[in-house]
Structure 1
Amino acid sequence: MRPQVLLVFLTRFEECMAMLRGIVHYERTHQIWTAFHDDEARAEVDPRWLESKRWDGIISRHTTPGLVQACRKLRIPLVDLNDVPRFPGVPKIRPDNVAIGHLAAEHFLERGFQHFGFTGFSNDGWSCERRDGFIEALQLAGRECNVFDVNYPGDVTPSWDIDQITALADWLKRLPKPCGVMACFDIRAQQILTAAHAHGLLVPEEVAVVGANNGAIRCELAYPPLSSVAPNAYQSGYRAAEVLAAMLAGEDHSALDERIEPVGMVTRPSSDVLAIDDRNVAAALSIIRERSCQGLTVDQVVAHAHASRSQLEKKFRRHLGRSPQAEIRRVQVEKIRQLLMETDFPLKRIAELAGFEHVEYMCVVFKRLTGESPGEFRRKTEAKSIQSD
C-alpha cells in the first residue's frame, strides 16, 4: 500500500505553493505517495481531525506545539518547514536567513551606497537573523547600519500599520541620504515605501528599499515595484520530501536543522539605482523613471530638477556617464524589452506605451542601443522560453 502523507500548507501564501511544487517533483521522481493536502491547516488546531485517518508521515509549513504533540502520540514522522525555533526531535528545514541578509547588503554595496538601515522585528528569530546577516556583510565592507526594530504583534491591523508608517517616516528622515534600507520581509518593505512617499522622500534615489521573501504579486503591486531577496522555497519542499522518505525507510533525522540557501536578489525599481549624493540628479532621475514613456522632454527634466540645463548635463555625465536624454532613452528601451518579453502586443502598441509617436523611429532607437531589432529580440526571447519549457 502506498504511504499516506499529509501536507499541511495554506496555499494563499506563494511560498507554500513553491514548496508544494518541490514536494511534487520529488514524489514523482523518487517515491509514490498518496498525498492529502490540508490547505486549511486544520491539523494545526484539531488533533481529532488528525486522528481520523492513519497517516504514515506529515510535512507541515504551519507546525504548532499541538501538531507536534499529536504526531508524537500517534508516532507519525513529521518534517517541519516553519521558520520558527525547532521543536526537539522534529527535523527542521528553513531558509538561511543570515544569507538573505548578506545578499541584500551586497546588493546595496554593489550600487555604491555608503549609508544603510534595517528595520524588522526584535521578537522574531528569523527577522533577527536577517538583520544580523545584513549587518555582518556591511561590517565586512567597513560600513555601519542604523537599526529600527519593533515588536511584531503577530498580525498587521490597520491601526498598527498607521502607527508603524508614522514611526518609519520619522526614522527615514533622520537617515543620511542616499541610503539603502532592508526590511525583514516584503510587508515591512511596503510600509517603508508608504512612509517615504508620504513624507516626500524619493524612492529609490534617496531611499532605496529591499524586502525579503519575494512574494511576486505583492512586490509588483508596490510602487515602485519592490526588490526582494528570494528564498528557495521550492528546494525547501523538495528537501522536506527527501527527508520524510528517508524517515519512512527507517532513518533517524530527529536532530536535523537545515538551512536552505536563497535563490538570489530579484531586482525591481525600488532599489535599481546607483547611489548619487546629489539632490538635483536624484530629482531628475525620479521624473525620468516615472515619465520617460509619456513624452518627457529634457526641458521638463531640467525644470523638475531645479537646475540649469548645462549644470544638469555636467552632473549627469559625472555621476552616470551619460546625458539626461540618453537616460530617457535607456528607460524607454527597458520598457520596450519588458513589453516584448511579457506581452504579444504589436510593435505599434508597444511604441505608444514606450512614448514613441512613430513605430519606425522606435525600431531605429531600439536597434541602435541594443544591436538588434525588436522583432529579433522577441523571436530570441520566445526561442529561449520554448527551450526552457
Structure 2
Amino acid sequence: MSHLSCTQNIAVVINPEQPVVVRLFEGFFNYIQNTRKDWRLIPCNSRHHSAPKDLGNTFDGAIALPPYTCFLERQQFPTVLIRDQTCNITSEVSCVEINQSKVISIGVEHLSHLGLKRIHFLSDIYVDGMEWLLLREKMFGTACKSIGAEYSIFRAKSGQTNSVDRLIGWLKTLAYPCGVLAANDSKAMDILEAASILGISIPDKMAVVGIDNHPIIARYSTPTLTSISLNYARIGYVAAELLDGLITSRDTTPHTLRFSDMHLYERESSNAILIQDPLLQRAVDYISQHFNKPDCLEGMYKTLGASSVTINRRFKQELSCTAVKHLALVRIRKSAYMLKNSTNTIKEIAFATGFNTQQYFTHVFRRYTGKSPKEWRYDNNGISM
C-alpha cells in the first residue's frame, strides 16, 4: 500500500483520565511504527471539545472514544469510533466495537469449568456513560442461564466508606463453594478484601475473576487475580488500521468491526477445580500429572478402569466439557505459561506439553486463543522466536 509522503495529522479524541488510554495509545503507536510513520497523533482532550467546529479542518482523520464522539459524526474527515457492543444504535461513522458478550462468556465458562454451579456477578452502581456495565449484567444472566448455573447480580459502589462492609454482608448470604465474576479488576480487589476479612478461602471456597487484567491489581493482589484482558493495545492497532484504510481508499461507507480477541489470564484467585465426584477427581488429577504424554487419555482410561463414555459423562455433568477439551485446556494453559516465561522454541514447547507435532499444536492453540503460539508470545512479551 502506498502512502503520501507528507505528514498526516490524526486527532485522538479522549478523556485522559480513562485508564485504558495508555494501552490504546500503545496500539496506535505500534501501527504507526509498522505501517504509517508519516502519521502524527495529536491527543485532543474530549472535555474541551463540545461542537463540530472545535476540530476544524486541521486533521486528516480521527479516532475517538465515547461518550464524547457525537460531534465527530459531522466532520468531513474519516473517523473511527472505539465503542462497546451496543444494541439498536446506528452510527454515521466507522467503529471498532468491543464484543462484551465474549468477555462475559469467557469468565462464566472459566468458572463453570472449575465445577462451580453457583456463579455471581459483582457489579457497580450505574451512572451516565457506563452502558458497558448494563451490557455485562445482561449478558452475564444470559450466559449463566445457557449452562444452567444458579446466579445473582450484586451492585456495590466502589470507593465508598461502607463498600467493603456491604460486600461482607453480601458474602454472608451466599452458599459455598461459588464463583464471582467482577465487573472490573477494582471490584475484584474489593471482593478479595472482603473475603479475607471473613476468612473465606480463595479459591477453595470462592473463585474470583476480574476484567481488564490491570497490570498492578491483577499481578500484585493477594492472592494474584485471574482476569480477562480486553486487549486494548490490539484494539488501538485495529482502529488505526481501519482508519488507514478509510483515508487511503477515501471510502465514506461506515464500517463496523466486532473485536473479540480477549483472553483470560489464570492466577491464584481461581486456580483450583472443585469436584464432588471421586472418579472425576481422579481423572482430573491424572490429566494434571500426565498432560505432557501424547497418549494421556488412553492411559487415564486404563489406569482408572473406566470407559471413555463413563469418564466423558462425568466431565460433562460437573465441568460442562469433555475429557478431550479439558486436556486441551490444560495443555494450552501450560504452553501459554512457557511461551511467556521461557525461551524454549515453539517446537520444544509443543512436545513438552503433549503434542505430537508443532503443526497440530499451532492448530489447537489458535482454536482456543485466536492466535498462533508465535503471535501470542509476541503480544505478551515481545519475543518472536
Pairwise TM-score range, normalised by the shorter structure: 0.5 to 0.7
Does residue 174 (structure 1) correspond to residue 143 (structure 2)? The answer is no
Q: After superposition, where does 1:4-23 map in structure 2 within 5 Å? A: 4-9=9-14, 15-23=20-28
Amino acid of the residue matched to residue 258 of structure 1?
L
Checking the alignment, whether the CA contact within 8 Å between 2:78 and 2:252 is kept in structure 1 is no
Amino acid of the residue matched to residue 251 of structure 2?
E
Checking the alignment, whether the CA contact within 8 Å between 1:121 and 1:128 is kept in structure 2 is no
Give 1:184 shift.
Answer: 1.0
Q: List runs of 5+ in structure 2 lacking aligned partners.
A: 1-5, 277-333, 343-352, 354-380
Give 1:261 shift.
Answer: 0.9
Q: After superposition, where does 1:154-233 map in structure 2 within 5 Å? A: 156=158, 158=159, 160=160, 162-233=161-232
Give 1:31 shift.
Answer: 3.6
CA distance in 1, matches of 2:32, 2:264: 29
Checking the alignment, whether the CA contact within 8 Å between 1:5 and 1:58 is kept in structure 2 is yes
Amino acid of the residue matched to residue 141 of structure 2?
I
CA distance in 2, matches of 1:215, 1:237: 17
Give 1:21 shift.
Answer: 3.1
Find the partner of 2:141 among 132, 135, 145: 135
Amino acid of the residue matched to residue 112 of structure 1?
G
Report the TM-score when normalising by structure 1.
0.62
CA distance in 2, matches of 1:138, 1:74: 42
Checking the alignment, whether the CA contact within 8 Å between 1:63 and 1:81 is kept in structure 2 is no
Report the TM-score when normalising by structure 2.
0.62
Q: Give the match's secondary structure for 1:54.
A: coil
CA distance in 2, matches of 1:57, 1:148: 42
Q: After superposition, where does 1:64-75 map in structure 2 within 5 Å? A: 64=68, 67-69=69-71, 71-72=72-73, 74-75=75-76
Does residue 388 (structure 1) correspond to residue 373 (structure 2)? The answer is no
Checking the alignment, whether the CA contact within 8 Å between 1:44 and 1:63 is kept in structure 2 is no
Amino acid of the residue matched to residue 259 of structure 2?
I
Give 1:98 shift.
Answer: 0.8
Give 1:107 shift.
Answer: 0.7
Give 1:97 shift.
Answer: 0.9
Quote the residue 2:311 is aligned against: none
Checking the alignment, whether the CA contact within 8 Å between 1:135 and 1:144 is kept in structure 2 is no
Amino acid of the residue matched to residue 63 of structure 2?
I
Q: Rg: which structure is higher?
A: 1
Quote the residue 2:32 is aligned against: 27
Q: Mark the CA change 1:258 to 1:163 in structure 2 (over 3 Å): closer, same or farther.
A: farther
Q: Mark the CA change 1:166 to 1:72 in structure 2 (over 3 Å): closer, same or farther.
A: same
Q: Give the match's secondary structure for 1:126.
A: helix
CA distance in 2, matches of 1:73, 1:129: 27
CA distance in 2, matches of 1:44, 1:258: 26
Find the partner of 1:57 among 51, 58, 61: 61
Q: After superposition, where does 1:24-103 map in structure 2 within 5 Å? A: 24-38=29-43, 41-46=44-49, 50-51=54-55, 54-61=58-65, 63-64=67-68, 67-69=69-71, 71-72=72-73, 74-83=75-84, 88-103=91-106
Q: Mark the CA change 1:174 to 1:59 in structure 2 (over 3 Å): closer, same or farther.
A: same
Partner deviation per Cα, 1:92-113 (whole Å, 9 max, x = no partner): 3232111111111111111111
- More helix, by proportion: 1
Give 1:6 shift.
Answer: 1.9
CA distance in 1, matches of 2:13, 2:225: 29
Checking the alignment, whether the CA contact within 8 Å between 2:73 and 2:92 is kept in structure 1 is no
Partner deviation per Cα, 1:332-372 (whole Å, 9 max, x = no partner): xx9xx99x959xxxxxxxxxxxxxxxxxxxxxxxxxxx9xx
Q: Mark the CA change 1:73 to 1:137 in structure 2 (over 3 Å): closer, same or farther.
A: closer
Checking the alignment, whether the CA contact within 8 Å between 2:84 and 2:100 is kept in structure 1 is no
Q: Mark the CA change 1:44 to 1:83 in structure 2 (over 3 Å): closer, same or farther.
A: farther
CA distance in 2, matches of 1:209, 1:267: 10
Checking the alignment, whether the CA contact within 8 Å between 1:94 and 1:260 is kept in structure 2 is yes
Find the partner of 1:147 among 135, 139, 153: 153
Q: Identity of aligned pairs, percent?
A: 22
Of 229-238 and 12-21, more deviation after overlay is shown by: 12-21
Give 1:387 shift.
Answer: 5.8
Q: Give the match's secondary structure for 2:199.
A: coil
Quote the residue 2:301 is aligned against: none
Amino acid of the residue matched to residue 252 of structure 1?
T
Quote the residue 1:269 is aligned against: 268
Amino acid of the residue matched to residue 177 of structure 1?
Y
Partner deviation per Cα, 1:55-95 (whole Å, 9 max, x = no partner): 1111123551xx532x3555233212243866732323232
Amino acid of the residue matched to residue 77 of structure 1?
P
Quote the residue 2:7 is aligned against: 2
Q: List runs of 5+ in structure 1 lacking aligned partners.
A: 278-333, 343-369, 371-384
CA distance in 1, matches of 2:103, 2:211: 7
